[in-house]
Amino acid sequence: MTDLVYFQLSFFLLTFACLISRLLIMFESPSFINHFPYLGIFLLLILGGIGLPFPEDTTLLLSGFLMAHHIIKPLPAFLVVYFGLLITDFSLYLVGKKYGRRIVEHKRFRKMISPNRLSKLEDSFKKWGSLVVFFGRHIFVLRAQIFLVSGVMKMSATKFLVADAISALFTIGLWGGVGYLGGNSVQVLKKDITRVEHITIIVFVILISSGIIFWYLRSIKKFRKT
């Protein structure tokens, strides 16, 4: 595995760890609650979608954590996250549709997708159609590329949005749920750290974290082989 892969994994985990540690210090502060958390989450999703270092999955984890601590409410948070995801995804689709195969020559987007990757994804779209969008949005290293290529392939906007909208529900449920469980675990541990039941919670969180790391490394490995 290359140094770049280690850097990407470390960045993902450290970003989430820093967010959580910062929240543990600040979440009881009224001034923090008044800093428009819904707008902040929405902006993180948008900025991450245009290539800035704000991973979508980390933002979803953060949202779940904030819900567990009652800083944001479930329904408004879901709507903000859901439409934030759809907007960023559809924006990449429109970029791909605008530039077509010339996307690999664009000074900004050529770093996101190579001619070889474009050809392979085009073959996948010809074979599987909108299912590539549905399943591909869960693959961290391919997500943005798939959205771009769906536009390059001139997929119907309706088909793209339907596949993406349904798939995004699973994405939110997974990462938001993990963040929520992590937030609840912190609350329980703060109440009574000496209880034996907390050991089960800690083990559960460790298993989830290990699963996330394993999934991420496996996705990177598959990506490097193609």
Is residue 70, in this structure, part of any structural domain at all? yes
pLDDT of residue 184: 67
Residue 11 CA to residue 53 CA, distance in Å, equals 9
pLDDT digits (tens, 9 = 90+) for 6-56: 444 444 544 554 454 454 444 444 443 445 788 888 888 888 876 677 788
Is residue 130, in this structure, part of any structural domain at all? no
Q: Which residues, including other chains, have CB under 8 Å from residue 48's CB and lie 6 or more apart?
A: 54, 55, 56, 59, 88
pLDDT digits (tens, 9 = 90+) for 182-196: 766 655 545 554 444
Is residue 144, in this structure, part of any structural domain at all? no
pLDDT at 180 > cutoff 50: yes
pLDDT of residue 147: 93
pLDDT digits (tens, 9 = 90+) for 133-169: 999 998 877 888 899 999 999 999 999 999 999 999 9
Written as six digits, the tokens of 152 are 């390059």
Element (H, E) at 73: none
- The whole-chain average pLDDT of the chain stands at 75
Is residue 146, in this structure, part of any structural domain at all? no
Number of domains in the chain: 1
Its pTM stands at: 0.67
Question: Shortest CA distance to 15 belongs to which of 25, 7, 4?
Answer: 7
Rg (CA), the chain: 19
Q: Which domain holds residue 78?
A: 3-99+165-225
Q: Residue 38, SS3?
A: helix
Residue type, 68: A
Is residue 49, in this structure, part of any structural domain at all? yes
Residue reference for tokens 């909208």: 165
Q: How confident is the model at residue 5 (pLDDT cuts 50, 70, 90)?
A: very low
Is residue 193, in this structure, part of any structural domain at all? yes
Is residue 201, in this structure, part of any structural domain at all? yes
Question: Shortest CA distance to 84 belongs to which of 176, 191, 198?
Answer: 176
Is residue 124, in this structure, part of any structural domain at all? no
